[in-house]
Amino acid sequence: MLPYIVPKRKLRVGVAVPSPGTWRASMGVHFASLCSFTAMHTGNISIAVLGREGSVITNQRNALVDTALEIGADYLLQIDADMQFPPESLLRLLGHEKDVVGAFYNKRVAPYETLGRLELPDGTSQETAQAIVNKGGLLEASQMPGGMVLTDCNVYRSLTWPWYFESYHRPGDGVETFKEMMRDHYPTQVPKEVLDEIVKNEAFAAWLRHNAKLEEESKSSRFYTSEDYGFSRKVRRYGFKIWCDLDLSFEMGHVGEHTITCKNAATKPKEEETKTLHRVA
């Protein structure tokens, strides 16, 4: 059985790569393989290759969506410039016929934790979660990284702009944190009386304090949410679901860097290294 399904209807897919200006060489090979594989195995998918360079990936992702909508794309596949993936990835994701579907992958630096989060029942143990993941298949996700994700363009049409955005969670009292966020957000100074009026509602103030308490308890009161997770949050808020292809996730590669040094053989090893070498011998 083929690991993908050829769509029966004609589709236009934007295959987009946001980048700082360069692609990893291996990613370029995988990208070309994906495009050629899709063209060879189906005659009803037209691919529009889209690229955007810049130093702010959030702006690049939003601009790529603009372009995809302008050309009337049915789907937009975003691939980061440092990924490796099977040539049939696009067909596999299209075959799921989901609003948003993609693959997880590991960070390219130690300790190489997995990016993305599945939507599992509260209280699911680590052992149970690992067993679910090991089975593979298609599972709903709450957070999807942006390195390999296919989105139905009707999702973008249903959302308000910006589709991708970053956010910062700040420590401290919820009410004061909200006021500070408002001051930072707008180019003009928000009048104090306006802010005071906004937070007069006790239910609103209580909600702000509740969120501040949760963040404090999680010991993550000051943290950053990336643009792809911001998109995940917004998609779910608008009633759409996100799906993770776990089988494809196991085949993804995230290209990083390692510095290799040449040690002088005459250099006396440290005591710890000597013990290690002795044990190995």
Q: Which of 87-91, 126-130, 167-171, 188-192 has the highest mean pLDDT?
A: 87-91
Write out pLDDT tens, residues 149-176.
999 999 999 999 999 999 887 777 888 8
Q: Cis ω on the peptide bond leading into residue 20 (within 30° of 0)?
A: no
280 pLDDT tier (thresholds 50, 70, 90): very low
Average model confidence (pLDDT) across the chain: 90
Least Cα distance to 257 among 24, 20, 18, 22 occurs for: 24
Reading the block at residue 102, the tokens are 């993609």
Distance in angstroms (rounded) separating the CA atoms of residues 126 and 134:
12
pLDDT number for residue 210:
85
Reading the block at residue 64, the tokens are 């790529």
Check residue 162 and report its DSSP letter. Answer: P
- Low-confidence winner among 22-36, 82-96, 162-176 (lowest mean pLDDT): 162-176
104, burial (CB in 10 Å: exposed 0-12, middle 13-18, buried 19+): buried
Sequence spans of domains, the chain: 11-165+226-254, 168-217
Write out pLDDT tens, residues 233-272.
999 999 999 999 999 999 999 999 888 888 776 766 665 5
13, burial (CB in 10 Å: exposed 0-12, middle 13-18, buried 19+): buried
Residues with Cβ within 8 Å of 217's Cβ and at least 6 positions away in sequence, in order, are: none
Could you please report the per-residue DSSP string of 74-118? SEEEEE-TTEE--TTHHHHHHHT--SEEE--EE-SSTT-PEE-EE
- Low-confidence winner among 72-81, 123-132, 200-209 (lowest mean pLDDT): 200-209
Least Cα distance to 171 among 223, 222, 224 occurs for: 222
For residue 228, the surrounding DSSP H or E stretch is helix 227-237
Is the CB of residue 238 less than 8 Å from the CB of residue 159? Answer: yes
With a cut of 80, say whether residue 191 has pLDDT above it: yes
The distance between the two most distant Cα atoms of the chain, rounded to a whole number of Å, is 75
Residues with Cβ within 8 Å of 99's Cβ and at least 6 positions away in sequence, in order, are: 151, 152, 154, 155, 235, 240, 241, 242
For residue 134, the surrounding DSSP H or E stretch is helix 126-135
pLDDT number for residue 65:
98
Which SS3 state, helix, strand or coil, does residue 32 take?
Answer: helix
Block residue for tokens 């016929």: 97
With a cut of 60, say whether residue 279 has pLDDT above it: no
Q: What is the CATH number of domain 11-165+226-254?
A: 3.90.550.40
Higher pLDDT among residues 180 and 158, named by residue: 158
Q: What is the pTM of this model?
A: 0.87
Is the CB of residue 52 less than 8 Å from the CB of residue 66? Answer: no
As a 3-state breakdown, the chain gives helix, strand, coil percent values, each rounded to 5, of 40, 20, 40
Name the residue type at position 130.
Q
